[in-house]
Structure 1
Amino acid sequence: MQNQPLARPPQYTIESVDSALHLLQLLRDHGSVRVKDAAKQLGVAPSTTHRLLAMLVYRGFAIQDESRVYLPGPGLGVMPIRASWTRALLDIAHPHLEVLSHSITETVNLMVRVGAAVRFLSTVQSENEERVSDRQGQVLSARRASGGKALLATVDERVLERLYRSAGSELSGERMTDAEFHAFQRELDTIRRQGFAINRQQTERGVCAIGFAIPGADDRPIAAFSIATPVSRFERVLSRDTVAAALQTRDAIHAELVEHGIRVSSGRVA
Structure 2
Amino acid sequence: MNTTDTTTLQSDTKDAQKGNGTQTLLRGLALLECVAQGISDVKGIAAHLGTPRSTTHRMLNSLVAEGYLHHVPYGGYSLGFRLIYLGTKAQEQRPLGALARPFLEELAAMTGDTVHLGTQEGNRVFYLDKISGTKGLEMRSRIGNRMPLASTGVGKALMLGLPPEAWQALYDEAVAEKVAAGEPVLLSPWPQFHEDMLSYRAQGWVMDLEENEIGIRCVGAPVRDVSGEVVAAVSVASAVPYTSRERMLDLGPMVRDVAQKISETLGLGKKQS
After TM superposition, the score normalised by the length of structure 1 is 0.60
Aligned residues: 204
Q: Which residue in 1 is equivalent to 2:208?
A: 199
Give the direction of change, closer, same or farther, for the CA distance of 1:100–1:84 in structure 2 (3 Å limit): closer
Q: Which residue in 1 is equivalent to 2:236?
A: 227
Aligned partners of 1:204 and 1:173: how far apart in 2?
13
Task: State the AA in 2 paired with 1:243.
Answer: G
**Match 1:98 to one of 105, 126, 131:** 105
Q: Which residue in 2 is equivalent to 1:123?
A: 130
Query: Identity of paired residues, percent?
Result: 19
- 5 Å matches for 1:120-159? 120-130=127-137, 132=139, 135-159=142-166
**Match 2:194 to one of 185, 201, 204:** 185
Q: Which residue in 1 is equivalent to 2:248?
A: 238
Q: CA deviation at 1:135?
A: 2.1
Unaligned stretches of 5+ residues in structure 1:
8-13, 31-37, 43-47, 53-82, 262-270
Query: CA deviation digits over 1:82-110, x for unaligned, max 9?
Result: x9997111111112101110121111001
Query: CA deviation digits over 1:159-201, x for unaligned, max 9?
Result: 3355457xxx69x8599xxx94333221211211232111111
Unaligned stretches of 5+ residues in structure 2:
1-10, 25-31, 58-74, 79-89, 180-187
**Match 1:113 to one of 102, 109, 120:** 120
Task: State the AA in 2 paired with 1:205.
Answer: I
Give the direction of change, closer, same or farther, for the CA distance of 1:163–1:29 in structure 2 (3 Å limit): farther
Q: 3-state SS of the aligned residue for 1:137?
A: coil
Aligned partners of 1:154 and 1:162: how far apart in 2?
15
Give the structure, 1 or 2, with the largest relative contact order (CA under 8 Å, sep 6 or more).
Answer: 1
Larger C-alpha radius of gyration, 1 or 2? 2
Aligned partners of 2:177 and 2:111: how far apart in 1?
36
Task: State the AA in 2 paired with 1:102.
Answer: A
Is the contact made by 2:116 and 2:130 (CA closer than 8 Å) also made in structure 1?
yes
Aligned partners of 2:41 and 2:99: how far apart in 1?
33
Give the direction of change, closer, same or farther, for the CA distance of 1:186–1:245 in structure 2 (3 Å limit): closer
Higher helix share: 2
